Amino acid sequence: MSGQAASASFDAGTKVFRLDGGGVSYVFGVNQKGELQQLYWGGRLGAADAFPSARALPEWASFDSSYSNTPQEYAGWGAGLFNEPALKVSFADGNRDLVLHYESHTAQPNGFDVVLKDISRPIFVTLHYAIDPESGILARSAIIENRGAEAVTVEQAAAAAWALPAGRYSLNYLTGRWAGEWTLNQEPVLHGARVIESRRGSTGHQANPWFAIQAGDTNEDHGSVWFGALAWSGSWRITVEQDQLDAVRVTGGFNPFDFGFVLHPGERLETPVFYGGYAANGLGGASRLLHRFELEHILPRTAATAGQALPKPRPVIYNSWEATEFNVNEAGQMALAEKAAALGIDRFVMDDGWFGQRKDDHAGLGDWYVNAEKFPHGLKPLIDKVHALGMDFGLWVEPEMVNPDSDLYRKHPDWALHFPGRPESEQRNQLVLNLARPDVRAYVLGFLDKILTENDIAFLKWDYNRNWSEPGWEQLPAAEQKRVYVEFTRNLYSILAELRQKHPNVEIESCSGGGGRVDLGILRYTDEVWPSDNTDPFDRLTQQDGFTYAYSPQVMMAWVTDSPHWLNKRTTSLEYRMLSSMQGSLGIGANITKWSDEETATAKRLIAAYHQVQTTIVQGNLYRLISPRNGSEFSATQTVRPDKSQSVVFAFIHSTQEGRLFPTLKLRGLDPAAEYTLTPIQGKARMGTPEVASGAWWMNHGLDMDTEFRGDFQAAAFRLNRK
Ligand code: GLA
C-alpha cells in the first residue's frame, strides 16, 4: 500500500477528523456531548467515504454509564468512568473529577493537534496526531497543561488510548528475564484487563512496551493486526482491556504506579509517544511495517548518514567481554584486535574493566578515568593500533551507575537514588545515580563528552545493569519527589541528544544487561541494541524471532561466542553459531586468539559472505517462514530487499526426529516474473534444484534442502540474486 499519500481532514459539519496514510484510515469525532470519540481504525477507506457525526453510546441499564461505554480518545477519570482512564488528576481542593471535552484544533503536518478542556476547570490537554504517509503508523501523544491558579497533581497520564470494536481477538506481547528476553506470548483477549508494565524505572527485560492484537483467526500471513509501541524508557504501563460491551481498549503511557507529577500553575507535562499501526496481512505484515518505520523515522542518523532515507547497516564488531571479562589490558586487547582484523571485522569494542579501580563488579563505576595499571599510556596506543589495523574503535560505559566502592560515591554519596535514613539496596554491588538531578546530569554529560573529545571513538556501548530501588529525591519537596520517574528518563534522552550533536559521528548501543532497555524512545538516540546477554546460538533463534515482532534486525546485535556455551553448556559448530548471528547485525564475541586455523578460515569466509548480503538481511522485508517457537524441530527466515533484487534464506534444524526431512520453503516477496540465481552461503540445496528459476518457481514450488541436512543444531543459508 506504500506510495499512497497521507491526508488529514476535518469536516466542520459532522465534526469528524479523518487521517489516512499507507493502507490505513483512522477516524474520530466530537460527539453530541462534546467528548472526543474514536470511530474507526483499520484498512484504508474510500476517499469519498463520509462518516456521520459521532454519537456517544447509551448507558447499559443503570450500571455502566455512557461515559464508560463510549470509546473516548482520551478519557479523564470522572463522571463514572469504570475503564482505564487516560488521565487522572487531583486538585488542591480535593476534587478529583475530570471530564474532558473538545475545545479546538489546529492542523499539523499529516495530522492534528486537538485541544480538550475539563468542563469547568482550566486543565487543558493537547492531543497530538500524525500519520506516516507510507506505513499508516500513527504517532500519538498528549500535553497536559494547568492554566489554573493552583497546583494540580497528575496521578495517571497515558500517551494515548486505542479502541477496537466488540469482537474476538488475541493479544501478542513480549516478556522475559535476564538471559531470557523476547518470549512471544499469544493469548485470547478476555474480559478484564491484561497489564503489561515496568515499575523498575527503565523499560525492563520482563516485559516490553509493544503489543499486537489480532482479529479472530489471523496468523503470520493473513488477517487484521493492530499493533503499538510506546516510546518510553522509564516505568511504563500498557493496559489491554475488553470492556463490559466486549469492546477492546489499549491504554498506555507513564506507569501510574507510584506516579505523581505536580503541575504548578502554567506548567505542562508532555507524555511519551505511543505509536500505533494496522496491517491487513497478519503479524508478518505488521512487523514489516514497523521495521520500515523504525528504519526511516525512529533511528538516528550520524553526520555520515544525515538526510539519508535509511541508516547505514551496522559494522561487524568484535567485543572483548566474553573473552576477557574484566581482565582487559593493552597487550591483551591488542592481540585480540590483530586477530579481529584478520577475520574482516570492521569495529573493535573494548568492554567493561578499562576504568577506575575496576577489577571485578565490586568497584569503579562512577570513576571514568583510564586505569593506569591496565593502560599505562592511556587508551591512545590501543586506539591507534585498532585504526592501523583498519577498524574503528568502540568503548563500554555504564554512565548512570555508581559502585559504593568508588571515588565518586565517597565524594557524593547523596547522588545515588535513596531515601534518607533508609538502607540503599545494592544489585551487582552498584547503585543508580539520580540522573534527574541537574548536577548528576552535568557530571554524566561532562565525563562522556570528555572521553569522546579526547579519544578517537566511533562507538559507545551504553550499559545499564540494574533496576531502581528506593527512588527518593530528597532535594525536592515531599509531594514532588515522584518527578524522578519523568525527569530521569528525560535527562537520559537529553544527554544522548547533546552527545550526538557534539559528536555527530559517534554511534551508540543501548544495552541493559542484555535487552533491558529496548524501546522506541531510546531508539531515537541509539543506533542498535544488545538484545540479550544470552549468546547461546540455539536460544538466540527463539529470542531473535520474538525480537523481530517489534524491532528491526538492523538494531539486533548478535555475537558469535565460544562453544560449549557458558549458559547452557551446549556444544555447537562454528557454522551454526555464525548463521544464527548472521540473522541480525553480526558481531564476534569469542576468545578468537584461541581459534584454530580452520575456525579462523570459517569465520573469515562467513564474515565476507555476510558483508555481501547484510543490507538485505537487516533492512529487507522479513518473512518468518517457520517459527522456532513451541519446540519446533526446524526454523527458517527469509528477507527480501524492498526492490526485490536480492533475498537471503536461513534454515535451522534444532534436532532431527525420526529422520524427517526439512520442509520445503515456499519463499515470499520475490518478483514472480524475474529470474533468480540461487547461491549457497552455507550448506546445499537438494540435488536437482535449479540454479536459476523464476520468482514464481521459488515461491510456488519452493526451495528444498539437501536430504543429508539432518542432525542436531544444523544450519544452512542461501542467497538469491535477481538476474
Ligand atoms: C552487561 C552487558 C554485557 C557486558 C557486561 C559488563 O551484563 O550486557 O554485555 O557488557 O555488562 O559488565
Distance of CA 411 from the midpoint of ligand 1 (Å): 26
pLDDT of residue 569: 98
Does residue 478 have a pLDDT over 90? yes
Backbone angles phi, psi at 319, to 5 degrees: -130, 135
With the most atoms of ligand 1 within 8 angstroms of its CB, the residue from 463, 509, 530, 588 to mutate is 463
Does residue 439 have a pLDDT over 50? yes
Residue of the CA atom closest to atom 7 of ligand 1: 513
With the most atoms of ligand 1 within 8 angstroms of its CB, the residue from 533, 561, 567, 588 to mutate is 533
Does residue 2 have a pLDDT over 50? no
Distance (Å, rounded) from C-alpha 61 to C-alpha 265? 40
Please indicate whether residue 11 is annotated as part of the active site: no
- The set of residues, in sequence order, having a beta carbon less than 8 Å from that of 478 and lying 6+ positions away, is none
pLDDT of residue 248: 98
Residues 20, 346, 351, 533: which is the catalytic one?
A: 533
Distance (Å, rounded) from C-alpha 161 to C-alpha 138? 12
Encode burial over 268-307: b for 16+ CB neighbours within 10 A, e otherwise: ebbbbbbbbbbbbbbbbbbbbbbbbbbbeebbbbbeebee
Q: What is the residue type of 32?
A: Q
Please indicate whether residue 49 is annotated as part of the active site: no
Element (H, E) at 558: strand 557-560
CA distances from 100 to 104, 151, 438 (A): 12, 18, 35
What is the DSSP code string of 366-435? T--SB-TTT-TT-SHHHHHHHHHTT-EEEEEE-TTEE-SBSHHHHH-GGGBS--TTS----BTTBEEB-T
Q: What is the residue type of 484?
A: V
Distance (Å, rounded) from C-alpha 406 to C-alpha 357? 8
152-164 vs 138-146, strand pairing mode: unpaired
CA distances from 353 to 336, 342, 460, 561 (A): 15, 25, 14, 19
For the CA of 461, the closest atom of ligand 1 is 10
With the most atoms of ligand 1 within 8 angstroms of its CB, the residue from 318, 351, 365, 535 to mutate is 351
Q: Sign of the CA dihedral 351, 352, 353, 356?
A: positive
Residue of the CA atom closest to atom 12 of ligand 1: 352
Residue of the CA atom closest to atom 8 of ligand 1: 513
DSSP state of 326: T
Residue of the CA atom closest to atom 9 of ligand 1: 533
Distance of CA 234 from the midpoint of ligand 1 (Å): 20
Distance of CA 327 from the midpoint of ligand 1 (Å): 13
Question: Which 3 state secondary structure label does DSSP give 229?
Answer: strand
Question: Which 3 state secondary structure label does DSSP give 199?
Answer: coil
Distance (Å, rounded) from C-alpha 602 to C-alpha 613? 17
Angle at 359 between CA 353 and CA 364, to 5 degrees: 70
Does residue 3 have a pLDDT over 70? no
CA distances from 667 to 220, 455, 552, 677 (A): 14, 47, 20, 14
Residue of the CA atom closest to atom 1 of ligand 1: 513
Distance of CA 353 from the midpoint of ligand 1 (Å): 10
For the CA of 530, the closest atom of ligand 1 is 8
Phi-psi region of 57 (alpha: psi -120 to 50; beta: other; left: phi over 0): beta
Residue of the CA atom closest to atom 4 of ligand 1: 321
For the segment 161-181, what is each residue's pLDDT rounded down to a tens digit?
999 999 999 999 999 999 999
Largest CA distance in the chain: 82
- Residues 449-461: what's their mean pLDDT? 98
Distance (Å, rounded) from C-alpha 497 to C-alpha 448? 12
Cis previous bond, 553, omega within 30: no
- Residues 210-230: what's their mean pLDDT? 95
For the segment 41-52, what is each residue's pLDDT rounded down to a tens digit?
999 999 999 999
What is the radius of gyration, based on Cα positions, of the chain?
26
For the CA of 351, the closest atom of ligand 1 is 10
- Residues 329-347: what's their mean pLDDT? 98
Distance of CA 319 from the midpoint of ligand 1 (Å): 11
Residues 463, 536, 539, 545: which is the catalytic one?
A: 463
What is the DSSP code string of 568-632? T-----HHHHHHHHTTSEEEE-S-GGG--HHHHHHHHHHHHHHHHHHHHHHHSEEEEEE---TT-
Does residue 717 have a pLDDT over 80? yes
565, 535 contact by CB (below 8 A): yes
- Packing angle between helix 438-454 and helix 484-502, nearest 10 degrees? 20
Residue of the CA atom closest to atom 6 of ligand 1: 352
pLDDT of residue 490: 98
459-462 vs 392-397, strand pairing mode: parallel
pLDDT of residue 5: 83
Backbone angles phi, psi at 415, to 5 degrees: -75, -20
With the most atoms of ligand 1 within 8 angstroms of its CB, the residue from 321, 397, 528 to mutate is 321
Q: Tell me the average pLDDT of the chain.
A: 97
3-state helix, strand, coil in the chain (%, to 5): 20, 35, 45
Distance (Å, rounded) from C-alpha 319 to C-alpha 351? 7
Distance (Å, rounded) from C-alpha 557 to C-alpha 157? 33
- Residues 641-655: what's their mean pLDDT? 98
Distance of CA 291 from the midpoint of ligand 1 (Å): 26
247, 163 contact by CB (below 8 A): yes
DSSP state of 107: E
pLDDT of residue 663: 98
Backbone angles phi, psi at 26, to 5 degrees: -135, 125
pLDDT of residue 217: 83
For the CA of 514, the closest atom of ligand 1 is 8
pLDDT of residue 350: 98
Distance of CA 219 from the midpoint of ligand 1 (Å): 36
Distance (Å, rounded) from C-alpha 212 to C-alpha 221? 14
Residue of the CA atom closest to atom 2 of ligand 1: 513
Distance of CA 151 from the midpoint of ligand 1 (Å): 43
Distance of CA 523 from the midpoint of ligand 1 (Å): 19
Read off the pTM.
Answer: 0.98
With the most atoms of ligand 1 within 8 angstroms of its CB, the residue from 362, 465, 467 to mutate is 465
Lookup: cell for 439: 548536577
399, 444 contact by CB (below 8 A): yes
Residue of the CA atom closest to atom 3 of ligand 1: 513
- Residues 585-599: what's their mean pLDDT? 98
List all residues whose CB is within 6 A of at least one atom of ligand 1. 321, 351-352, 396, 463, 465, 511, 513-514, 530, 533
DSSP state of 477: -
For the CA of 513, the closest atom of ligand 1 is 8
Between 203 and 5, where is the model more confident? 203
Distance of CA 74 from the midpoint of ligand 1 (Å): 40
For the CA of 396, the closest atom of ligand 1 is 10
Does residue 1 have a pLDDT over 60? no
For the CA of 511, the closest atom of ligand 1 is 8
